[in-house]
Amino acid sequence: MAEKSQFHTRLKLALILAICAIPSGCEAAAIIWGQYHGMTGKALRDGLDLWAGGFLLLHGQASILFDHTAYQSFLQGLYGHLPYHLWSYPPTYGLIAAAFDWLPPWPAVLAFDAATLVLLAFVLRLAGKSGWFVAAMLVAPACLENVLEHQNAALMTALIGGGVLLLEAKPRLAGALIGLATIKPQLGLVLPLNLLRRSRLAFAWAALAAVLLAGASLAAFGPKVWIGFITFTSPAMSNVLLTGQPPDFAGGLISVFALAKPFMGTHGALLAQAVVSLACIAAGLFTRRPAALLVLSALASPYLHAYDLLGASLAVALLVQDRLRHGFFPGEPVLFFLVWFGPGLLPWMPRFAHLAPVLLLLLLASAWRRGGVAPCDSLPAPPGSPGSSAGRSRTPVPPESTAHG
């Protein structure tokens, strides 16, 4: 009887996962249509920047990355008129881009997507998650949007999510993963002090990994790339955030800053985001629950897009896995569904972005409530649970943008 009940639960969750994937499937069809009708540059979306950045760095043309006119001319020389593009990453990310960009654009971008998905699956399995859990994460709308945009959310979730989940069992590896996440530092604001308080060994390994990564980029590309990042890329990204211009690039933000800006103006929104970010960092000092840390990381970032919610999707998966064993509070199933489904819905219903910070706050409350997910490093896992050596749970969980981050 228990096996039959488990089968029905899995069937229901699989159906929910399939329904949630429909909007991204329709978006994928539109992209494929564009590719076959000569719009390759647009079909590549943010993958075009991944390829172009790595290609220019590999061929000693890094200066083009820090000259807006030259960069646009380079891209349009390849694919004609395109939406606004900007190389928006630190030199450390250039190491990753260059590792794939000896290939032509599409093979390079698809190889990057595949490699980051494999890394995410591997890290989750290393953390003791079942094949069902991993499969659910790989078809999450945030993960599908990440692949459609050819963005780095799967990579960042592997690094941050893996670091959070492995902190107790493998502190050195956890620290190294979090240190490598400095390729996108705005998503890890709550982690340094959390590591310092909970595991100085992990903190040391995080610092070492970050320093070695920065040193490797300096050795590979030279100091001019770091100077260009400091004097051009960083100010340009700040300008995009503050002015919202150009809309093609700045659109799609779902952070507290983006929610507050229409009502409070730029300065008021900055203040609101600063208060929330500092509160998240402070809360992170005393938080040991992986799901809560993942949500705090999202809330603390002023620069957040739909695909960046893959970390929040991991939090939902962890919470659903727990609630299937211990029971849901009223309203939690609806909350979990909205957070999970939201990233796939956003390209079709941009106004849903206004709900994102509110949903994240409610998700944080759910992750913190009594009887929620036990701290991964404070309570022993029951036999047969994902964190137990006795076995793993087999229960699953559940218009084009050129914005970067």
Using 50, 70 and 90 to split pLDDT, how confident is the model at 54? very high
Using 50, 70 and 90 to split pLDDT, how confident is the model at 40? confident
Q: What backbone torsions phi and psi does residue 27 show, to the nearest 5 degrees?
A: -65, -40
Whether the CB-CB separation of 297 and 188 falls below 8 Å is answered with yes
Distance CA 40, CA 34 (A): 7
Using 50, 70 and 90 to split pLDDT, how confident is the model at 231? very high
Which sign, positive or negative, has the C-alpha torsion 322, 169, 195, 304? negative
Give the pLDDT confidence score for residue 213 in this predicted structure: 97
Distance CA 190, CA 49 (A): 28
Give the pLDDT confidence score for residue 299 in this predicted structure: 96
Whether the CB-CB separation of 24 and 399 falls below 8 Å is answered with no
- Domains of the chain, by residue range, sit at 107-214+244-368
Distance CA 20, CA 307 (A): 14
Give the pLDDT confidence score for residue 277 in this predicted structure: 96
- Report whether pLDDT(375) > 70: no
CB crowding 341-375: b at 16 or more within 10 Å, else e = bbbbbbbeeeebbebbbebbebbbebbbeeebbbe
Contacts of 116 (CB under 8 A, 6+ apart): 152, 154, 155, 158
DSSP string covering 204-261: HHHHHHHHHHHHHHHHHH-HHHHHHIIIIIHHHHHHHHHH--SHHHHTT--SHHHHHH
Give the pLDDT confidence score for residue 253 in this predicted structure: 86
Give the pLDDT confidence score for residue 192 in this predicted structure: 95
Structure tokens at 405: 């981050």
Average pLDDT over all residues of the chain = 87
- Report whether pLDDT(111) > 50: yes
- pTM, rounded to two decimals: 0.87
What's the whole-number mean pLDDT along residues 347-376? 81
246 preceded by a cis bond (ω within 30 of 0): yes
Give the pLDDT confidence score for residue 83 in this predicted structure: 84
pLDDT digits (tens, 9 = 90+) for 70-88: 999 999 988 888 888 889 8
Say which residue, 97 or 3, is predicted with more confidence. 97
Contacts of 344 (CB under 8 A, 6+ apart): 20, 21, 22, 23, 24, 141, 142, 144, 145
* Three-class SS state of 391: strand
Say which residue, 3 or 32, is predicted with more confidence. 32
Using 50, 70 and 90 to split pLDDT, how confident is the model at 11? confident
pLDDT digits (tens, 9 = 90+) for 246-280: 776 666 789 999 899 989 999 999 999 999 999 99
Whether the CB-CB separation of 311 and 205 falls below 8 Å is answered with no
Of the listed ranges 34-38, 92-96, 152-156, 265-269, the one predicted with least confidence: 34-38
Say which residue, 376 or 267, is predicted with more confidence. 267
Give the pLDDT confidence score for residue 244 in this predicted structure: 76
Using 50, 70 and 90 to split pLDDT, how confident is the model at 394? very low
